[in-house]
Amino acid sequence: MVPGYTGSKEDFRVTMPLLRDAGFEVVAVTRRGQADSVAPPSLADHSLAEEARDIARIAPLLADGRPVHLLGHSLGGVIGRAAVLLDPGLFASYTMLCSGPHGWPDRKHLERHLVAEKGTSALFDATNPATLGLADAELDPEPAFLRMRMARTSAHSVVAGGEILELADDTTEALAATGVPVLVAHGEWDAAWPIPWQRDMADRLGARYEVIAGAWHSPQIEQPAATAALLADFWGSVADPTRAS
């Protein structure tokens, strides 16, 4: 499982126990430069190609080298797609969760410049004004963790992630050509990627397409039971006895 733009492995903390109980061994990664992951020194080290290579390096280390099911959330979906294109044989299936076929210019322009000039904590403050001036002890555990995570995230990770989210390249046809089974899923109120784009992408992929009721952009947190049930059903439908879950 690959998290998105300003996330980390903890974005899957609610869903992972449910998938474990369904019989799957699940590994979530924190992308390079995010939270507790090492941050390489240059902006170029956080390119889409480098992020995709990370996933392609990790996959063979799991399940005795057998193909694994891959999930990418939002920006993680873009990275995961690039990893599948890099080496389709590594993956038994691919799930794009709340992710789209391509980005658009200036999508993260203001955020990229804010972080480049003032750091990642400035982005958290700008999007969470209710926490301004409050000590961690005055916050509920969730916002306290999110603020800490953002402070520990590399500015390069956020700036480069924003640049990736602005890429106009649409590799849907190339992904379809790999033959890897794909699930496209999103919350019914996902506003981060145009829903018609996601539906059209699924059509062009010949992929399974599901809308998760009562969820926004992070159904793995907002509707964990429904999300886990969907993933278990999809993974089970494409599972091969010689392949890993």
- The domain locations on the chain are 9-103+169-238
Location of structure tokens 């939270």 = 35
Location of structure tokens 């002890």 = 137
pLDDT of residue 77: 98
Residue 235 has which token pair? 């993974």
pLDDT of residue 228: 98
Contact 164, 103 (CB under 8 A): yes
CA distance 17 to 12: 9
CA distance 235 to 93: 7
The verdict on domain 9-103+169-238 having CATH code 3.40.109.10 is no
pLDDT of residue 106: 96
Alpha carbon separation from 108 to 117, 119, 158, 207, 232 (Å, rounded): 14, 15, 10, 28, 33
Contact 193, 97 (CB under 8 A): no
Average pLDDT, the chain: 96
pLDDT of residue 241: 40
pTM, two decimals, is: 0.95
Q: Quick one: pLDDT band at residue 239, thresholds 50, 70, 90?
A: low
pLDDT at 182 over 90: yes
CA distance 93 to 4: 19
In this predicted model, what pLDDT tens digit does every residue of 106-160 receive, in sequence order? Answer: 999 999 999 999 999 999 999 999 999 999 999 999 999 999 999 999 999 999 9
In this predicted model, what pLDDT tens digit does every residue of 7-58 receive, in sequence order? Answer: 999 999 999 999 999 999 999 999 999 999 999 999 999 999 999 999 999 9
pLDDT of residue 245: 37
CA distance 160 to 163: 5
Contact 193, 99 (CB under 8 A): yes
Q: How many residues are listed for the chain in this entry?
A: 245
